[in-house]
Amino acid sequence: DTAVSQTPKYLVTQMGNDKSIKCEQNLGHDTMYWYKQDSKKFLKIMFSYNNKELIINETVPNRFSPKSPDKAHLNLHINSLELGDSAVYFCASSLGRIGELFFGEGSRLTVL
Amino acid sequence: GENVEQHPSTLSVQEGDSAVIKCTYSDSASNYFPWYKQELGKRPQLIIDIRSNVGEKKDQRIAVTLNKTAKHFSLHITETQPEDSAVYFCAPNTGFQKLVFGTGTRLLVSP
């Protein structure tokens, strides 16, 4: 019974393409996140939603657009992919804004 | 500020030894101090956390100590085992109510 699930697990695509990653949590949490982990393993927050409202929007290119249709879902759409977008993208959720983060398995994006 | 640094960046120990990883932060508003473990190819998972009203917390072989005055907190692992090998991240919160992950420490425990 997966708590935070994200799809797809792997994406390989060409520069300039558009791609989406979906995330769902069944923990009843009210806050969801997107984190980016680069090749050096640095984990950086990109976006956070609390009860479907965007509360954190880091300095991320406009090509990245999150969307939260409801509290249990947070999707990430990326336009005009660039080589530097290659990374592992983790979805996470928590109860409240400060507390344990439950991560999904990650989506490894490779841009060629 | 959101500077969160960890030291050392890599740590190699023999099985049975102790390991200590230090996390230094800059935001005086931080009041929540968790540690995450990420095994190779896996997701980060919380292993222990502490809030600012407590100076130390222990859970079996792992412990976290907090020095709020000096703005640092440390992860202590005793009697290390090969399965403790992973990358460890601290992630204190900021005044903007988000967790900022540290630079990571790669721990290698040799049998």
B46-66 tens-digit pLDDT: 999 999 888 999 999 999 999
pLDDT at B96: 73
pLDDT at B1: 52
Task: Please name the residues in contact with A37: beta carbons below 8 A apart, sequence gap of 6 or more.
Answer: A43, A44, A87, A88, A89, A90, A106
Q: Which residues in chain A come in under a pLDDT of 50?
A: none
DSSP state of B97: S
Q: Does A84 touch chain B (CB under 8 A)?
A: no
Measured distance CA(B2)–CA(B6) in Å, rounded: 13
Q: Do A45 and B104 touch (CB under 8 A)?
A: no
Q: Do A103 and B45 touch (CB under 8 A)?
A: yes
Q: Do A98 and B93 touch (CB under 8 A)?
A: yes
CB-nearest partner of B46 from A43, A97, A100: A100
Backbone phi, psi, residue A81, to 5° = -55, 140
pLDDT at B56: 94
- Phi/psi class of residue A101: alpha, beta or left (left: φ > 0; alpha: ψ in -120 to 50)? beta
